[in-house]
Amino acid sequence: MTNEDNLRWLEHIADVLHENAAYLTQLDSPIGDADHGVNMDRGFKAVRDKFPSMAEMDISTQLKTVGMTLVSTVGGASGPLYGTAFLRAGTAVAGKGELDTADIVAMLEAFLGGIVARGKANPGEKTMVDALTPAVNTAKQALAEGVTAKELAQRAAQAAEEGMKATVPLLATKGRASYLGERSIGHQDPGATSSWLILRGLAETL
């Protein structure tokens, strides 16, 4: 994975989050404040403005630029969470000209680590962590099996999708949805959904 591939992934994320902004916001309306799509779209619009200057950056700097941009432009919980995720992902691949499958797994693990460090959610609390944790575990397994980067990303995205769907029956105990208590049950978590879109974007890019 080159810095050009990484930039294509980031462009793809910006497109997909824009196309799905209404959907993500709709998911955030029964169990939140109906702004997740708006938040993600705003953040990645600001990232999009930086794409021209990002072509010359290495992968680490590109990811850190995304992280800093999200932290400074997204007001909701998702801004600092994804911001920290991209910052940590960038740190994990510092100095790498290209990423091999092990580097991609390290990047994904750091991405999840950033969200957990920032939000302190455990699996099963109906958050992004519920899509990302199975994705990272599946990616590690795929790495051990020696599959290609594309196959690894596809399997990770599939695991994220299953994790996302599995948030429906969960009771939210973190973030805004937790204020609803039992009424949070029966709805798919918006953040788990954007996490799936981000990982599916990686698989599609590769």
Applying CB under 6 A, the span of 9-17, 106-114, 156-164, 184-192 interacting with ligand ADP comes to 184-192
CA–CA dist 43, 163 (Å, integer): 24
Rounded to whole angstroms, the Cα distance separating 199 from 160 reads 7
Q: Is 161 in the site for Mg ion (CB under 5 A)?
A: no
For position 198 contacting ligand ADP by CB under 6 A, the verdict is no
Site string for ligand ADP, 18-37 (x = CB under 6 A): ----------x---xx-xx-
The count of residues interacting with ligand ADP (CB under 6 A) is: 24
Q: Establish how many alpha carbons lie within 13 A of residue 108's alpha carbon, considering only the half-sphere containing its beta carbon.
A: 34
83 binds ligand ADP, rule: CB under 6 A: no
Residue 183 near ligand ADP by CB under 6 A = no
At residue 46, what is the residue type? A
Of these, 88, 174, 187, 200, which contacts ligand ADP (CB under 6 A)? 174
Round to whole Å and give the CA distance between 155 and 19: 23
DSSP 114-163: HHHHHH-PPTTSSSTHHHHHHHHHHHHHHHHHT--HHHHHHHHHHHHHHH
Rule CB under 5 A: say whether 19 interacts with Mg ion. no
Chain residues that interact with ligand ADP, rule: CB under 6 A: 28, 32-33, 35-36, 39, 76-78, 81, 115, 119-121, 127-129, 174-176, 189-192
